[in-house]
Amino acid sequence: MGKKYIPVLLYIDDKGQKTPKYIKAGIDGEWLRVKKATDSRRMASLIAGAVGIRYNCVVDIYGEHREIYLFDENDKWFVETGEYES
């Protein structure tokens, strides 16, 4: 198992708090809307073997809402995958 680094569009408030709004992770590389992001905390990815700020996100994937984990690893964003990154 591994991780895939992806582009993320963020909202950053006046206190510096980050909130993901869109991720580029669709089947054809399209932007997917983050409906809501909750429970951000420093946590390890047990699948990808990395540590960062983990966001529980609900994304709209072709009209269906799915919950995913999105990780901020020192301003490099990734999602867990079933494939190894080389």
Q: What is the model's pLDDT at position 86?
A: 42
- CA distances (Å), 24 to each of 42, 58, 69, 75, 78, in order? 22, 14, 14, 15, 10
86 CB-near residues (< 8 Å, 6+ apart)? none
DSSP string covering 3-34: EEE--EEEEE-TT--EEEEEEE-STTS-EEEE
**Above pLDDT 90, what percent of the chain?**
55
Banded pLDDT at 1 (limits 50, 70, 90): low
- CA distances (Å), 22 to each of 11, 61, 83, in order? 10, 11, 23
